[in-house]
Structure formats: structure tokens, C-alpha cells
Chains A and B, each alone.
Chain A
Amino acid sequence: MLILSRPAAAAVAVATQAERPPLARPAARPRAASGAPRAFAQALLPWLLPLALLALWFAGAARGWISSQVLPPPAYVWETLRDLVTSGDLRMHAGASFMRVGVGFVAGTTIGLVLGAAMGLSRRVEACLLPTFNALVQIPVLAWLPFVLLLVGIGEPLKYILIAKAAMVPVALNTLQGFRQTPAALREVGEAFGYTRRQQVLEIVLPHALPTLFTGVRLGFTKAWLSLVVVELVASSEGLGYLIVYGRQLFQLDLVMAAVVVVGAIGYAIDRLLDLLERRLNRHRRSAA
């Protein structure tokens, strides 16, 4: 099998991602359909591992194999989680986190869209900006942190800037990618119809770039959420990430675990939501085509 060079392979993968046929999955072979008990067993299998781990955790806590300082019993974690919800602490911390992600994500996405579109539409802008952009992107969020920290202090702007930077990168790159890959045939059709530049962009380039663009936005959100946790772990006095650090400092591992569960659940839920949106968007496009 011929291997494409990486950028080319990635570009092809992104380009064909929307219309890629579903992969053949071994689990879906016909033998799975040999009767209801079989199907039931298949549905049960994924729960085996988590249940076994949970049972081990319960047993370990009950029999005192591990001290609760190192691994608090599940009941304890559950109780802490409930306390967090009923006391309103969770709402306060989650509110702070959502605020940060919201501001950072919106700012980052806007900048990313503008930058990506500018680079995608004008070769001159691209030639001027892209190398610098690529170089700055190589430096991870955590390396930017001390720099921005010294510049703007430890307040909210620090979090907004870092989260915005994290969201901006995939949005800008995917926008550029999407704008670049307008098929020449479509462009020629536009020319044949005598489209103005504005019409070209609004009615040909943009609709065609939309799926790639949306993938960028979703990735941007994932990155924003990830950096939120990192930033709050390092420098904050409220928020979900802070809850984790706080629990760690007090050696309250139940609090740490409860907070990790909440962070994971929220990230997962929002990712699913965006995924659903993206899929619906793609289906619309395909049925329209």
C-alpha cells in the first residue's frame, strides 16, 4: 500500500472524512445475530470491566486492602458528589469554568475563523502569516502560560487568552484547509455564471468549506475544554480544575475523584452534542447534494 506523505494524507483524510463509508466492523458479523441470548451477552460485555473494577474497589475499601487516604471508598466519593450538588458549590465552580470556556472559546473561534478565512482567500496574506502562525503553534499552551502570566497577571484575562489560543489553532487551520480545497470545477462554474468575488466566496467557497470548518470548531472546543482544566489546575482560585487541586491539597481524594468525574462528564456530553450537530449538518448537505 502506498503511503502518502503526512500533510497530504491528512489533507485527503480531512477532505474525504465527510463522505467516508462506514468501516466494516468485525463485531457486526452475522454470527452476532444468532438468537436473543447471544445479543444479550453482546450487550452485556462492555459492562464487564467497569463492573469488575467497581466491585474490586468496593471490596478493597470494605476489607481495608487500601487505606482510604490513598483510595477513598466509592460510597464516600458518591456522598461528596451529592454534597457538591446540594450545597451549590458545584454550580458555583462549574459556572466559573463555563464562563471562562465560553469567553475563551468564542473569542478564539472568531479570531480563528477570521485568520483562517483571510489566509484561505488571499495568497499574499497566507504567505505573510502562515509561517509565523505555524511557528507559534509549535509552542504548547503550558509554555505560553508563564509568559502571559507575567504580562497580564493571574486574573481572568490569563484564562481567556490561553483558552482562546487553544481554540483558535484548530479553527484557523481547518478554515484555511476548507477554503483551500474548493474544487476547481465549482470555481469554474462560478466564473461561467459571472459571479462577483463576493458571490464566489458566499455561494461556492463557504458552503463547500462548511463541514471542514465545523470539524475545526468542534476540535477547538475540545482543546478549549482541555486547556481550561490545565489552566485551572495551575492558576486559579475557583472552577472545576481548582476543585481538583484543592482536594489534592487537603488530601481529600474523594473530592478530587468527584471533580474528575464532573469534568469528564461535562466534556463528554458537550463533545457528543457537537458531534451530533456535525453529523446532522453533513447529512443535510448530502441530501441536498
Chain B
Amino acid sequence: MSTAPDASARDIAELAAAQPLAPREEGRWRGLVLPLAAVAVWWLLASLDLVNSALLVSPLRVLQTAFEQIAGGQLQRALAASLARELAGFAIGTVGGLLLGAFLGLSPIFERVVGPSFNTFKQISLFAWIPLISVWFGLGDVAKVVFLSLAALVPVVVNTCDGIRSVPASLLEVGQAYGYTRRQTLLEVVLPSALPAIFTGVYLALIYSWLATIGAEYLLVSGMGIGNTLIEGSEHFRMDLVVFGMLVIGLVGWLMNACARALERRIARRLGRI
């Protein structure tokens, strides 16, 4: 498989692109100018009735909708349904991805047999599979979880396989010099060295499966979830509901990002201490 190394480079580059670049320290307050100005203009336009459109809802209306959704429990129910699906798909996809990635990384023959097929598979946009999945698994939770696990599987496989294969040869030689058994080599040389890459894969899987959750709720419309809240808002021309749903989705994605990063930092610190 000649595409493996650059595939990893691509994934890292993709990660860099998905990662918000940290703003520089100085002048933090400047970052607030644009959003505040935008909200002010929005508010002004909405309250002055300059634009006569039902779509221009005031920020106050959005806040009110948010309050209603939270007080009525709709938000909690929708979020719980979405997150339960997301976590189920994420867990299945990650476990499967770790296994597949480990086999790909450790066995050259397995890699030769399965690697190219896997690379071809991952080129096809996951969303293109949704119609087929809906025929095979219906429109319910099963189909959604299948789709989510596929979304989570791909980055885990790529990064696990890559992490294992880029263990420095010098480290492996040290293991040989100490007369390590295969088991020892795996646990004490390969695993620690591959761990950062593996974690990157899991982290990407968390983000991908959240994006895929929204996609699944869009394209396999049934049941409830935060994606369905958006669709409902769009169908009833309720811009306040749409804006609210977008904010929630963005916030959840941001929270996941932050949690995963904090966790990774903690693990990194612990590994560094050993």
C-alpha cells in the first residue's frame, strides 16, 4: 500500500485544518468586537423593522425560544437521544477501528490483503452510503448507529495503523537487544510509541461521529434528536428554532473538542512522568 504514509500526512493536515488555530495572547478583547458588533446590528435591524421579513428574528426571540426549549424539556430529550446514538456509534466504531488498525499495522500480510480495499472504501463519501444503509437497516436507531460507527471507524483505523507502523526502528532494535518477547515488544515498545497517534484517531472519531449524528438525523429522518429540531424549525419557517439548534450543535462540538483535548493533555502528562 503505497498511499499509507501520505494518507497519514493528509489526516494530520486535516486535523490541523479542523483544529481552530489558537489566537495569539495579546489583544484578546479584539476578538469580541466582531461578534458583539454583529449582534448589535442584528438587534437593531430586527427592532427597527427596517427589513420586513419573518426570517429576521430578534436575538431576544432566540433567547426566548432557548428558554422555552429548555424549560419544556425538548432540548434535553433531543440532546439525550442524539448523544446516546453518538456515543453508541463512537464506541462501536472505535473498538472496531482499534482492532482493524492494529491488525493492519502489525501484520504485513493482512495489510496487503485488506489495506488497499480499505483505502478505496474510505475514499467514498460516507454520506453516499446512507441510502444503502437505509434500505438494509431501515430508518431507525440501528441504521443511524451503523452509520455513526462507520464514521468513527475510519479515522481510528488510519491513525492506529499509522502509529504502529511509524514506531522508530531504533526502539524496536533496543527491544530486540533486550531479548523482548513479542508480547513484551508490543506492550512496552510499540504501544507507548503509537499511543499519541492512536489518541489522535479516537479524538477525530469523536468529532466525526458528532458531525455524522447530525447527518444521520437529516437523512434518516425519524425519531428525535437535535438534528430533527433543526429540520422542524426549517419546515415551519422558524428561524429562531434554527438559530438555536445551530448554536447547540456548535456548542456541543466545541465541548467535545475541549474535553478530548483536556483528557489528552492529562494522559500525555502521565506518560511523560513514567
Contact = CB atoms under 8 A, between A and B. Distances in A.
The answer to whether A and B assemble together is yes
Interface of A: 1-3, 5-7, 9-11, 13-14, 17, 20, 22-27, 29, 42, 45-46, 48-50, 70, 123-124, 126-135, 137-140, 142-147, 149-151, 169-170, 173-174, 176-177, 215-216, 219, 225-226, 229-230, 233-234, 241, 244-245, 247-248, 251, 253, 256-257, 259-260, 263-264, 267-268, 271, 275
B112 A42 contact: yes
B30 interface: yes
B41 interface: no
Nearest to B110: A45
Contact of B117 (A24, A49, A229, A233): A49
A210 B26 CA distance: 27
A143 B245 contact: yes
Contacts of A134: 20-21, 23
Closest 9 CB pairs of A and B: A131-B31, A146-B234, A134-B20, A264-B124, A248-B131, A170-B17, A3-B268, A127-B30, A45-B112
Contacts, number: 235
A179 B237 CA distance: 42
* Interface SS majority for chain A: helix
B24 A123 contact: yes
Could you say which interface size class chain B belongs to? 35 or more
A263 B20 CA distance: 30
Interface stretch (B142-150, B152-160, B179-187, B213-221): B213-221
A262 B64 CA distance: 46
Contacts of B257: 138
For A147, A264, A268, the residue with the greatest tally of chain B CB atoms inside 10 Å of its CB is: A147
Contacts of B13: 13-14, 17, 174, 215, 219
Interface of B: 1, 4-6, 8-10, 12-17, 19-24, 26-28, 30-35, 38, 55, 108-109, 111-117, 120, 123-125, 127-132, 134-136, 165-166, 169, 192-193, 195-196, 200, 203, 211, 214-215, 218-219, 227, 230-231, 233-234, 237, 239, 242-243, 245-246, 249-251, 253-254, 257, 261, 264-265, 267-268, 271-272
A149 to B, nearest CB: 6
Given A3-B272, A49-B117, A263 B125 contact: yes
Given A131-B31, A216-B17, 9 more contacts: A7-B22, A46-B112, A142-B211, A143-B246, A150-B242, A226-B127, A234-B219, A256-B131, A267-B123
B19 A140 contact: no
Contacts of A22: 5
B272 A2 contact: yes
B35 A132 contact: yes
Contact of B12 (A5, A10, A151): A10
A25 to B, nearest CB: 7
